[in-house]
Amino acid sequence: MITRTAPSWHTEDWQIELSGAVRNVETLWQALDLPANSLPAALAAHRDFPVRVPRAFLAKIEKGNPDDPLLKQILPVMAETEHSPGFVADPLAERNANRQTGLLHKYQSRVLLVLGGTCAINCRYCFRRHFPYEDNRLGPEDLAGIQAYLTDQPDVNEVILSGGDPLVTSNARLSALLDLIEAVPHISRLRIHTRLPVVIPQRVDQGLLQRLGQSRLNCVLVTHCNHPQELDTDFDHAMNLLKRQGVTLLNQAVLLRGVNDSVATQVALSERLFSAGVLPYYLHLLDPVAGAHHFDVPESEARTLMQAVHAALPGFLIPRLVREVPGQPGKSLIDLHLT
């Protein structure tokens, strides 16, 4: 068999991968040889936040290994159904920033557009797992309202596309949205926050590349990868294609108990990202969302971990350790007390 070293991706490729994602708990258990006695707890957690895992991501998980770092990110467990003080449905108070349908305005110079509630993969620690997506569905009249809002906000120079995952949206819809944004003169930058190039790299197809490449906006794509085992040669190829179009590539991760809370993993992640042309950007402390308390790493422990990462890596490969605090003008940097 000849290995395809330079894949040619089409829209149908990623759409097939997306539609074929595992959404059934029993199927997940069978595919990964998980113990049957843990299935009832998983079903209970699944009812609150459904399972969704692309087959390609599933193939990277070691069967029968409950400690696999990729498995822990997608595995529904009983802890999700337990109440933990301080862990709430809206940990970032985003409903207060929901200025109109599909638009969040939390920070002075940038607004965030929620393009939908669908992701390619449902991460169990997701801070928007309880977000009211049904109240933020964007229709044609909402897009006109968004353009008017942007026009009336001269301090805003950046639009962030988020969700859900904004790249679940079709190229045609994305292109129409970019037309709308580009028509506002003081908007100079577009940022896309997405996990799709990690879990379905085929999403970086020719239609997306062409549209980003022809935009007058400075385009930044922020991937979401938490562990080096998530990345492969298809991801590398996707990043290379984006770089050729002049897209700036960054990564943000979440510090997760049992997944990436070790110095070795953080160092390996930064090195692996850089080998693909992606700079580490943020390492987020867990947002206290209801159902995710078992992933939490205390700030003091995170600080100690990142002090060791600083000793092991050059500065440009070290993500900034941050926490998002509602009402603050930006992300809150965690002081590592370095001397």
Write down the domain spans for the chain: 11-81, 94-333
- State the Cα–Cα distance between residues 290 and 169, nearest whole angstrom: 27
Q: Which has more confidence, 77 or 337? A: 77
What is the model's pLDDT at position 3? 42
Whether 137 and 164 have beta carbons less than 8 Å apart is answered as: no
Q: Interhelix angle for 140-151 vs 171-182, to 10°?
A: 30
The dotted CATH code for 94-333 is 3.20.20.70
pLDDT tens for each residue of 219-259:
999 999 999 999 999 999 999 999 999 999 999 999 999 99
In the predicted model, what is the mean pLDDT of the chain? 94
- Determine the 3-state secondary structure of 251 from DSSP: strand
Q: What is the DSSP letter of 241?
A: H
Burial 180-219 (b: 16+ CB within 10 A, else e): bbeebeebebbbbbbbbbbbbbbbbbebbbebbeebebeb
Segment 108-161, tens digit of pLDDT: 999 999 998 999 999 999 999 999 888 888 888 899 999 999 999 999 999 999
Q: How confident is the model at residue 75 (pLDDT cuts 50, 70, 90)?
A: very high
Would you state the pLDDT for residue 6? 56
Cα–Cα dist 206/185, whole Å:
27
Q: What is the 3-state secondary structure (H, E, C) of 19-50?
A: HCCECCHHHHHHHHCCCHHHHHHHHHHHHHCC
